Structure 1
Amino acid sequence: MSASYSDLLKNRNYRLLFSGQLLSQLGDAIYEVGIVWLVYRMTGSPAAIGMLVLCQTVPFLVLGLIAGAFADRWNRRLTMIVTDALRGAAMLYLVLRYLAGGLTLWEVCLVAVVLTSARAFFHPSLRAVLPQIVRREELLLANSLSESAKRICKVGGMLLGGVLMAAEQVEWMLWINCISFFLSLWTVWQIALKRAERAEHAERSERSDQTIFADLLMAGKEIRKERAVTFSILLSSLGLVASAGMIKVGLPLLAGERLGGEGDTYGLLMACFSVGMFASAALMKKLARLHILTMVGIGWSVYGIMFGLLALSPQLLIACLAVGIIGCAHFLTDIPVTTIIQQKMPLGRMSSCQSIWATASFGSESIGVAIAGPVLASLSVTACFALGGGAMVALGLLPLIILRKSGQNKLDRRTCAE
């Protein structure tokens, strides 16, 4: 039976999960923009903003791996409910302190630590719950629809956050994010997973005497046993090293130095990137027939070709089109990896495996950004886009060459739709 978006939205559990995360993403996006401006208004210090960003990042570096292992031991649905409650309570504290007056930087940073720490437990639980809600052949479309819709909510939320801060409606920015967590909690509460939860309880009881690190080692072994999963994670991690820095550091330079624009030009390019990610959802149903590694390889190849086009310093319209296609290709390099983990990893270690992928992805992006700065300082922005594009095309062709030589996908004979 073929999967479709309409069938997905008829699934009550998926519809609840989808709507709850949509609201939560909208609230997060409004908050993401607003809290930075609030800190700047409170302190007038760029160093304070740096401290806020640090508090939003470090907890994931510390908890990213072990959070998934804990989520595998706990009731995942309950984990999602508790973490949403913690995030909602932290935001409620923040908004009440703001309304009372006297809100301090350390309180904002403490809330940032709580939000990021809770998210480290929430997201691997969310990705592990999805295979219990939809059929195997629906996973690719479910991930694609959820992530693309959340991307559009993020763009809209950032715009709304900017409007609210310009209108000095800080309390509305805080209230919206606070309420979105409690709405997400309510939707997760309504999801019915009783049969699956009983099976998970039995699995958790069997390994209650193991350490968390032993669980992570076992999850790593599960990943290594599935060569398609291992190769997909490795391929996408290397691609992120080559691409992340150019998107986050190189694109603003391209907008200013080569396209002759300002912040508005960069904002337009990033909007095109997000629209491209949203548009990729329309392609997923057809692309689901491809082998998983073929899809990832095509994604990185297209990514690299568009980087090459940007290296030619095109007109703004062409640059917008290229960045939009890059956004579309980005989904082909990310969503299939999440999906193949959901399809192939055992349910009892699903959260740990998703955390390993998330940590690899986050680490690769960080390395890419760290490398991009010195490289862009030494070479022209067009040369950097050309080099990065060449590396990604080569990376994308690698799995396609392997599959062609073997005559079939020996790493994974199934497609995402099977």
Structure 2
Amino acid sequence: MASLTAIREKTAGWQALLRDRNVRWLYAGQVVSQIGDGVSKVALLWFVYAMTESALDMTLIGVLQTIPPLVFGPFAGVYLDRVRKRRAMIVIDLARTGLLAAIPLLYAFDRLTLPRLYALVFITAVFSMAFGPALNAAVPLIVAKEQLTRVNALMQSAMTMGQLFGPALSGVLIAAIGAPRALYVNAGGFFIAALCKIPLRVPHVELRRTSDSLWRQAVKDLSEGIRFIFIRHRLLFLLMIVASVFSLGSTGFVYLLPVVGDRILHVGAVALGWLWSSLSLGILAATAWLFWNKQPPICRRLWLVAGAAAAGGAAVLVLPASDSVAAAAALIAAIGASSGLITPLVSASLQERTPKELLARVFGVFNTGSMAFAMIGMTVFGWAADALGPSISLLGIAGVQLAAAAITVAVIPWCRRLTEQAAQQPALLRKAS
């Protein structure tokens, strides 16, 4: 009877979330735009390589898409905290629609040069960089605190579907209509995503205006966000450190997977495709588990983060010893599941503990840090695979993920003390009155 009651409670929780029209519209837009983005990632690289026949010119696309989050992320948060989140997301989607559609249009009229293509890619990346903080700042404004883990898991599932279906769809489109025209699909996806956001009702948090100049006010706002993270709420800072350290290892693993498949597991292209799919399936499985279950208290969330990081690290450690594709796929699915658990849990914790007027700034800093650590992971573990061998690189990745687990466990006693102090404050205030 007790188990039946628990099942009913869990079912009621996710059903209530799906009945929310704001969540439904936001999720629909994310699914469409993420699948379109998956199409674009393959089509754009293919197009540049076909246009230039240069691997370097092709890889510069990735560099141009990486620079904006590293350089402008925190400043984007400053601006986004002062504007309406719904309007910002619509403007960003419409801007990306026009910029991506411009690439095949210019190509059709023989006006697309490589510098123009790079400029369009860079400006698109600037708008894409701003969308993440806007979305993460909007989510706590439209759902209750106890639903934050579920809604973050839901948004993560949209991204994972884009990773699963986008590249496959891109290959079909490139073969059918060519790489330039395939970019229209991504442009159309962003346009549909913008339309999906029109019915949203997102409350606006008004920030106090001052007589300072625009630049001085921006510096003050950024300083306030940095002080909140690094001084006033160091638990959030430590959560960011854990997530960034984990990203260091997980991103390195994703980019190393073809090398692992070839030089350690000795599998062909078809089997490698299955292994890559198992990574996404692991993320989806973790997403479904989070969506089904009730959001745990923050200190228990830290235990889940620690367990996920430890399980992911152990799976990486054991992977070279797997004796079949099925065993390797199961381990890689476990690695994907660890990532699938950590990202929504950390995001929900940041959203829960951050004042609504600081959300975009906090996530701007968080995204910048995560991107920086991801870049370091790709570079360091890629170098290690070439210089020392992929087995040593995997050992390093496992060590990083186990270190993330150890850091999280060390933070848990501090989390408990802070939670106890917060619980005692109302009682102290009542005694004082």
* AA aligned opposite 1:47: L
Cα separation, 1, equivalents of 2:20 and 2:386: 51
Distance 1:232 1:303, change over 3 A: same
Q: Does 1:279 align with 2:282?
A: no
| 2:273 aligned partner | 267
- Asked whether the 8 Å contact 1:30–1:158 carries over to 2, the reply is yes
Q: Does 1:409 align with 2:413?
A: no
* AA aligned opposite 2:266: G
| Residues 147-169 of structure 1, C-alpha deviations (whole Å, 9 max, x = no match) | 11321132101101011112343
- Asked whether the 8 Å contact 1:17–1:187 carries over to 2, the reply is yes
Q: Does 1:51 align with 2:81?
A: no
Q: Give the TM-score taking structure 2 as reference length.
A: 0.87
Residue 222 of structure 1 and its aligned partner are, at CA, apart by 1.6
Match of 1:233 among 240, 258, 269: 240
Consecutive unaligned residues in structure 1, runs of 5 or more? none
| Residues 202-227 of structure 1, C-alpha deviations (whole Å, 9 max, x = no match) | x1525865432321221122223223
Alignment of 1:1-400 (within 5 A): 4-170=13-179, 172-193=181-202, 196-197=203-204, 200-201=205-206, 203-205=207-209, 210-224=216-230, 225-249=232-256, 251-284=257-290, 285-286=292-293, 288-289=295-296, 291-400=300-409
Residue 179 of structure 1 and its aligned partner are, at CA, apart by 1.3
* AA aligned opposite 2:254: I
Residue aligned with 2:35, SS: helix
| Residues 17-69 of structure 1, C-alpha deviations (whole Å, 9 max, x = no match) | 11011111111111111111111111111122022222222222221121111
Residue aligned with 1:377, SS: helix
| 2:430 aligned partner | none
Distance 1:232 1:41, change over 3 A: same
| Residues 262-302 of structure 1, C-alpha deviations (whole Å, 9 max, x = no match) | 34333322211111111112221437325221121111111
- Asked whether the 8 Å contact 1:277–1:324 carries over to 2, the reply is yes
Cα separation, 2, equivalents of 1:299 and 1:327: 10
| Residues 133-154 of structure 1, C-alpha deviations (whole Å, 9 max, x = no match) | 1111111000101111321132
* AA aligned opposite 1:103: L
Residue aligned with 1:191, SS: coil
Cα separation, 2, equivalents of 1:362 and 1:391: 16
Cα separation, 1, equivalents of 2:249 and 2:104: 40
The range that moved more, 69-78 or 126-135, is 69-78
- Asked whether the 8 Å contact 1:311–1:386 carries over to 2, the reply is no
Root-mean-square deviation (Å): 2.3
Cα separation, 1, equivalents of 2:72 and 2:407: 33
Cα separation, 2, equivalents of 1:54 and 1:159: 23
| Residues 153-192 of structure 1, C-alpha deviations (whole Å, 9 max, x = no match) | 3210110101111234335412211111111111212212
Q: What is the number of equivalent residue pairs in this alignment? A: 406
- Asked whether the 8 Å contact 1:310–1:382 carries over to 2, the reply is no
